[in-house]
Amino acid sequence: MKLVAGNSNRPLSEAIADYLDLGLTKTSVRRFADQEIFVEILENVRGEDVFVVQSTSFPANDNLMELLILTDALRRSSAKRITAVLPYFGYARQDRRSSGRTPISAKLVANLITHAGVDRVLTLDLHAGQIQGFFDIPTDNLFAAPVLVRDIKERYAVDNVVVVSPDVGGVVRARALAKRIDAPLAIVDKRRERPGESEVMNIIGSVDGRDCILVDDIVDSGGTLCNAADALLAKGARSVTAYATHGVLSGGAVARIGDSRLKEMVVTDSIQATAAQAQSPKLRTISIAPLMGEAIARTAAEQSVSSLFD
């Protein structure tokens, strides 16, 4: 098989290649003066099983176009099968019509990826599980939970941990993680007054004297998790740590988290860390490269991927 790296997260691609003991396929990705993307595959890929690693994170449109053009170049180079490995699938939050005359952008992007020539998709912690159905090709949605659980067990006495969902929509995700470490569950009752702002109203469950683990799939502005930390500490929590799969961390999120009452914010490297994120004492990154690498190896060998999470 061949492993092709886009430019969205080169360090993760290199870590996956190290896990697989496989060199990255040589490519040339450059831009014309008007910023059009040009791709050239510099190795023979005829008849190969090719995996393209590319998160569609910021700048989302540039990284998406690079993925599509890489796919087209591989398809025209007679690759046998092309699997798009999307550690972070951008546009996933636009998975339904929130009001009249609005798009379902997640479906549109899924169509673009499919029609570009991708045969299979491998992604991580989709914002909503039903997005798998937006693709008309086989799609594996991996879960970062085993990686997060391992880190939690290394750093906390799990008999004093309570897993907390920052909103009602994340209860399924939080319950699954709580089950893995045999911990109780609490829920933050959050009401959003206007877009981009959240107000914590109530805590459902007992957190007094416990170490709270807030679990989410995406942290963007960080406001929800910071507000939830304040509410949990006000209810007697001993400490509050946040775990999120995708650290989008746009705008002033890094500074907001640094000034918050969170003990720590832990994210995976599905999105490449910015310089500000790397320098923040409250932000820590854990790697999903072994998980993604193992899933790629099993896909190439036509073995079960779901058994990774049994």
In a domain, 21, yes or no: yes
Q: Does 119 lie in the same domain as 175?
A: no
Q: What is the pLDDT of residue 70?
A: 97
Q: Does 150 lie in the same domain as 282?
A: yes
In a domain, 300, yes or no: no
Strand partners, 139: 121
Q: Does 269 lie in the same domain as 196?
A: yes
Q: Does 65 lie in the same domain as 162?
A: no
Summarize the annotated binding site for ATP as residue ranges: 34-36, 93-94
- pTM, full prediction: 0.92
In a domain, 277, yes or no: yes
**164-188 per-position pLDDT tens digit:** 999 888 899 999 999 999 999 999 9
Mean residue pLDDT across the chain: 93
Summarize the annotated binding site for Mg(2+) as residue ranges: 127, 167
Share of the chain above pLDDT 70, in %: 97
Q: Does 95 lie in the same domain as 35?
A: yes
Is the confidence at residue 200, as pLDDT, over 80? no
Structure tokens at 86: 């999307």
Which of 142, 172, 200 marks a domain boundary?
Answer: 142
**How many helices (H) and strands (E) would you count in the chain?**
9, 14
Q: Does 166 lie in the same domain as 133?
A: no
Summarize the annotated binding site as residue ranges: 34-36, 93-94, 127, 167, 192, 216, 220-224
In a domain, 55, yes or no: yes
Work out the angle at residue 19's Cα, subtended by the Cα atoms of residues 15 and 22, and round it to the nearest 5 degrees. Answer: 90
Which of 105, 127, 142 marks a domain boundary?
Answer: 142
Q: What is the pLDDT of residue 287?
A: 97
Q: Does 68 lie in the same domain as 165?
A: no
In a domain, 295, yes or no: no
Q: Does 257 lie in the same domain as 156?
A: yes
Name the DSSP class of 84: E
In a domain, 54, yes or no: yes
In a domain, 281, yes or no: yes
Helix or strand run (H / E) with residue 129: none
142: left (phi over 0), alpha (psi -120 to 50) or beta: beta
Angstrom distance (rounded) from CA 81 to CA 273: 30
Q: Does 279 lie in the same domain as 221?
A: yes
Structure tokens at 41: 């595959």
How confident is the model over 197-204, as a mean pLDDT? Answer: 74
Residue 211 C-alpha from the chain's centroid? 24
Q: What is the pLDDT of residue 139?
A: 95
Amino acid code (one letter) for 208? D
Q: Does 251 lie in the same domain as 215?
A: yes
Is the confidence at residue 198, as pLDDT, over 60? no
Confidence of residue 44 (pLDDT cuts 50, 70, 90): very high
Which of 120, 142, 164 marks a domain boundary?
Answer: 142
Q: Does 134 lie in the same domain as 184?
A: no
Q: What is the pLDDT of residue 192?
A: 61
Give catalytic residue positions. Answer: 190
**125-168 per-position pLDDT tens digit:** 999 888 999 999 999 999 999 999 999 999 999 999 999 999 88
Residue with tokens 């469950």: 205
Residue with tokens 């799939």: 217
* Number of domains making up the chain: 2
Summarize the annotated binding site for D-ribose 5-phosphate as residue ranges: 192, 216, 220-224
CATH number of the domain bearing residue 208: 3.40.50.2020
Confidence of residue 199 (pLDDT cuts 50, 70, 90): low
How confident is the model over 57-75, as a mean pLDDT? Answer: 96
Q: Which domain holds residue 6?
A: 2-142
Pick the closest to residue 90 from 110, 73, 74, 72 (CA basis): 110
In a domain, 95, yes or no: yes
**236-274 per-position pLDDT tens digit:** 999 999 999 999 999 899 999 999 999 999 999 999 999
Q: What is the pLDDT of residue 195?
A: 59
**82-141 per-position pLDDT tens digit:** 999 999 999 999 998 888 899 999 999 999 999 999 999 999 999 988 899 999 999 999
How confident is the model over 275-279, as a mean pLDDT? Answer: 93
Q: What is the pLDDT of residue 167?
A: 87
Q: Does 239 lie in the same domain as 184?
A: yes
What distance, in Å, lies between the first and last C-alpha atoms of the chain? 26
